[in-house]
């Protein structure tokens, strides 16, 4: 499991020949699951192009402190708040001196001053410059401020000298960066979660829906992302903000939710069906508003697809987790659903207690056992659910 999964790394590149290795470093960080944003000093752009780093990181590269276009997207203060780690590789002797002085005369040094994120630097310079008392004194100042210093390595240098000052290899820098984080409970796992109600259109102004708020699913998405998972949230219409680090796909009807779920299921390790999917939809969607007339009217409904049962029946299926909100015989109905829908794990709860509330309790059911969780906030119960899920997932995959 990789502790860089879902972490935000701001990679600063300063001017030195080792900057060519920053391309490989970017690729390795992205491969390890990190989101990478690159910031380059002007000198760095003499050695490697912003375009290369943009292509490898998948994000716009920042080179200017005062850039109206960049500020309109992610401004420098926002950028300073964004990362979980600022990694400067290579870090030149000049840039180290600038950091020691606390200067803020370009975008990268400004970010270093403004951020609360941990900072690591990978120095790269000529052996004479490394050995110089000024550089060593500056490094002492940075270390005393809590910055991590990766390397440098000893060996042959681009200038022909031999000695200390070579930048560490990108693989070593990526590994040391990963060591700065705890591997989260769900690091490296890809999880899809369905959320909220669905709306089934009757006519241009009416629909059938239910009271699901989406709070349980969103709590799970927040906690799973914080534990290092890559989360896709397939959400029906809810009044909730998209959690950070979560990819949200908005859908309206059960049929749309099924299509998005099948796409996501092909690329995930775990599928969690929390959505209160409408069991039925109108057999026909009227193109014009239905006029009132007779004292009674009949609306013909047809059954919606069972999304989670469809996912669980796939030949190459993810670990499949369901929910059951019941009003009576909660555990019996839950156990029946676990078996009938061929789920790996199910959380049964009391619909009256949980619907729309910030708190909940649940009974976890799986083929060999059960456990009661809560009552507590949905965030707290979500953490308990994910811990159990991890345990059951590992057992099924022979890793426990
Ligand atoms: O059958 P019931 O709706 O009670 O089952 C609840 C579980 O099944 C939940 O996990 C829910 O997300 C899922 N479900 C579904 N598609 C449906 C109905 C329910 O995925 N059409």
Residue minimizing CA distance to atom 4 of ligand 1: 324
Q: Which residue has the higher pLDDT, 197 or 183?
A: 197
The pLDDT value recorded for residue 116 is 96
pLDDT above 90 (res 68): no
Residue 258 placed within a domain: yes
Pocket lining: 337 vs ligand 1, CB cutoff 6 Å:
yes
Check if the beta carbon of residue 364 is closer than 8 Å to that of residue 385: yes
Pocket lining: 277 vs ligand 1, CB cutoff 6 Å:
yes
Half-sphere exposure of 74 (CA within 13 A, CB side): 17
Average pLDDT of the residues in 217-234: 96
Average pLDDT of the residues in 250-254: 98
Residue 185 placed within a domain: no
Q: Out of 179-193, 308-322, 380-394, which region has the weakest mean confidence (pLDDT)?
A: 179-193
Query: How many folded domains does the chain comprise?
Result: 2
Please tell me the distance between residue 273's alpha carbon and the centre of ligand 1 in angstroms: 7
The Cα–Cα gap between 167 and 24 comes to 13
Check if the beta carbon of residue 212 is closer than 8 Å to that of residue 276: yes
Same domain, 101 and 25: yes
Average pLDDT of the residues in 69-76: 79
Same domain, 148 and 211: no
CA distances from 35 to 1, 77, 229 (A): 16, 18, 13
The Cα–Cα gap between 378 and 126 comes to 55
| Final residue belonging to a domain, choices 116, 149, 178 | 178
Please tell me the distance between residue 306's alpha carbon and the centre of ligand 1 in angstroms: 6
Average pLDDT of the residues in 373-398: 95
Pocket test of ligand 1: the residue of 308, 346, 348, 350 to mutate, having most ligand atoms within 8 Å of its CB, is: 308
Average pLDDT of the residues in 291-303: 95
Place of tokens 């410059």: 129
Catalytic residue of the set 1, 134, 159, 400 = 159
pLDDT tens string 17-29: 999 999 999 999 9
Confidence of residue 400 (pLDDT cuts 50, 70, 90): low
pLDDT tens string 276-296: 999 999 999 999 999 999 999
| Final residue belonging to a domain, choices 153, 178, 203 | 178
Pocket lining: 142 vs ligand 1, CB cutoff 6 Å:
no
Active site (annotated) includes residue 268: no
Q: Which residue has the higher pLDDT, 74 or 142?
A: 142
Residue 290 placed within a domain: no
Pocket lining: 322 vs ligand 1, CB cutoff 6 Å:
yes
Same domain, 30 and 75: yes
The pLDDT value recorded for residue 38 is 98
CA distances from 183 to 82, 372, 399 (A): 20, 27, 16
Please tell me the distance between residue 132's alpha carbon and the centre of ligand 1 in angstroms: 67
The Cα–Cα gap between 19 and 91 comes to 9
Q: Which residue has the higher pLDDT, 42 or 354?
A: 42
| Final residue belonging to a domain, choices 115, 148, 178 | 178
Residue 334 placed within a domain: yes
Same domain, 68 and 115: yes
The Cα–Cα gap between 257 and 216 comes to 17
Pocket lining: 234 vs ligand 1, CB cutoff 6 Å:
no
Same domain, 237 and 358: yes
Please tell me the distance between residue 133's alpha carbon and the centre of ligand 1 in angstroms: 68
Same domain, 197 and 169: no
CATH classification at residue 226: 3.40.50.10300
Check if the beta carbon of residue 364 is closer than 8 Å to that of residue 373: yes
Provide the pairing of β-strand 246-250 with 230-235: parallel
Pocket lining: 324 vs ligand 1, CB cutoff 6 Å:
yes
Average pLDDT of the residues in 354-380: 92
Residue 226 placed within a domain: yes
- Which percentage of the chain shows pLDDT scores above 70? 99
pLDDT above 70 (res 2): no
The Cα–Cα gap between 26 and 321 comes to 35
- Which percentage of the chain shows pLDDT scores above 90? 88
Pocket lining: 323 vs ligand 1, CB cutoff 6 Å:
yes
Ligand 1 atom with the shortest distance to the CA of 325? 4
Residue 291 placed within a domain: no
Residue 244 placed within a domain: yes
Residue 228's contacts (CB-CB under 8 Å, 6 or more residues apart) are 1, 3, 5, 6, 7, 33, 183, 184, 185, 186, 187, 188, 189
DSSP state of 84: S
Same domain, 132 and 6: yes
Same domain, 20 and 116: yes
Ligand 1 atom with the shortest distance to the CA of 324? 6
Place of tokens 């020949």: 17
Same domain, 200 and 280: yes
Q: Out of 157-161, 325-329, 362-366, 382-386, which region has the weakest mean confidence (pLDDT)?
A: 157-161
Nearest of 189, 185, 167, 156 to residue 268 by alpha carbon? 189
Place of tokens 């207690």: 353
Pocket lining: 108 vs ligand 1, CB cutoff 6 Å:
no
Please tell me the distance between residue 377's alpha carbon and the centre of ligand 1 in angstroms: 23
What is the distance between the terminal CA atoms of the chain, rounded to a whole angstrom? 14
Residue 292's contacts (CB-CB under 8 Å, 6 or more residues apart) are none
Same domain, 352 and 318: yes
Residue 215 placed within a domain: yes
Same domain, 194 and 87: no
Question: To the nearest whole number, what is the mean pLDDT of the chain?
Answer: 95
CATH classification at residue 162: 3.40.50.1950
Same domain, 39 and 97: yes
Q: Out of 69-73, 87-91, 186-190, 343-347, which region has the weakest mean confidence (pLDDT)?
A: 69-73
Range of the domain at 250: 190-285+297-396
The pLDDT value recorded for residue 188 is 85
Check if the beta carbon of residue 122 is closer than 8 Å to that of residue 152: yes
The pLDDT value recorded for residue 75 is 84
The pLDDT value recorded for residue 1 is 44
């Amino acid at each position: 499991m990789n502790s860089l999964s879902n972490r935000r790394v701001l990679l600063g590149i300063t001017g030195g020949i080792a900057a060519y290795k920053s391309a490989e470093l970017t690729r390795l960080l992205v491969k390890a699951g990190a989101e990478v944003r690159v910031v380059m000093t002007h000198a760095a752009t003499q050695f490697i192009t912003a375009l290369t780093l943009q292509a490898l990181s998948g994000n716009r590269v920042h080179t200017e402190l005062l850039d109206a276009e960049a500020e309109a997207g992610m401004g420098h203060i926002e950028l300073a708040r964004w990362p979980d780690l600022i990694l400067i590789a290579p870090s030149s002797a000049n840039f180290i001196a600038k950091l020691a002085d606390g200067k803020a005369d370009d975008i990268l040094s400004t970010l270093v001053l403004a951020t609360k994120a941990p900072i690591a630097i990978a120095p790269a310079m000529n052996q004479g410059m490394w050995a110089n008392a000024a550089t060593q004194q500056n490094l002492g100042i940075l270390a005393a401020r809590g910055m991590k210093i990766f390397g440098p390595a000893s060996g042959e240098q681009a200038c022909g000298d031999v000695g200390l000052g070579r930048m560490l290899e990108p693989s070593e820098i990526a590994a040391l960066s990963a060591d700065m984080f705890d591997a989260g409970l769900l690091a490296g796992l890809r999880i899809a979660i369905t959320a909220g109600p669905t709306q089934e259109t009757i006519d241009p102004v009416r629909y059938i829906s239910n009271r699901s708020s989406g709070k349980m699913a969103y709590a799970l998405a927040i906690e799973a992302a914080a534990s290092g998972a890559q989360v896709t949230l397939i959400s029906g219409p809810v009044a909730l903000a998209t959690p950070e680090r979560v990819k949200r796909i908005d859908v309206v009807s059960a049929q749309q939710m099924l299509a998005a779920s099948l796409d996501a299921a092909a690329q995930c390790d775990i599928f969690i069906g929390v959505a209160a999917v409408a069991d039925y939809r109108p057999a026909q969607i009227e193109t014009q508003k239905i006029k009132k007339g007779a004292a009674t009217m009949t609306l013909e409904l047809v059954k919606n697809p069972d999304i989670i049962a469809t996912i669980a029946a796939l030949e190459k299926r993810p670990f499949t987790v369901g929910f059951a909100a019941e009003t009576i015989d909660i555990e019996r109905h839950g156990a029946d659903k676990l078996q009938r829908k061929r789920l790996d794990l199910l959380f049964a709860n009391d619909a009256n207690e949980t619907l729309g509330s910030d708190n909940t309790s649940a009974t976890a059911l799986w083929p060999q056992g059960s456990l009661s969780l809560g009552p507590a906030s949905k965030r707290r119960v979500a953490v308990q659910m994910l811990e159990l899920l991890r345990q059951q997932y590992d057992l099924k995959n022979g890793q426990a």
